[in-house]
Amino acid sequence: MKIKKGDEVIVTKGKDKGKKGRVMRVYPQEKMLLIEKINYRTVFLRKSQDNPKGGITKVEGKLHVSNVKLVCPRSGKPTRVGYSILADGTKHRLAKKSGEVL
């Protein structure tokens, strides 16, 4: 998967289209991402010792990788991700628009 934890992404499809956020968690098996402050969903909490009244709260939901694009660090616009191998054999991720190393 080309998007990693801590990357800044922009949502390209869905109800949160155009919003930017930081990736909090990656689920590579499912090809899903958990993005900070994006794709909120309502969760109903049961009564428990920690929460004696129960209640309703909002948490971030997962988004599919195909619905987001990485934000270029130089221009701040959405970009695709590529790879390059340097002479010493190390592999780097690159922003396709600017060629910036991520």
CATH number at residue 21: 2.30.30.30
**pLDDT above 90: percentage of residues in the chain:** 74
Residue 15 lies in a domain: yes
Residue 17 lies in a domain: yes
Q: How many Å apart are CA 76 and CA 83, to the nearest integer?
A: 19
Q: How many Å apart are CA 63 and CA 68, to the nearest integer?
A: 8
Reported as a single tens digit per residue, the pLDDT across 52-89 is: 998 999 999 999 999 999 999 888 899 999 999 888 88
Tell me, what DSSP letter sits at residue 65? G
Residue 101 lies in a domain: no
- Cα distances from 90 to residues 5, 83, 84, in angstroms, run 20, 10, 8
Number of domains in the chain: 1
In the numeric block, which tokens belong to residue 51? Answer: 């929460």
Instruction: Place 22 in a pLDDT band, splitting at 50, 70 and 90.
Output: very high
Residue 101 in this model has a pLDDT that exceeds 90:
no
In the numeric block, which tokens belong to residue 66? Answer: 């195909």
Residue 54 lies in a domain: yes
Domain residues for 49?
8-95
pTM above 0.95, yes or no: no
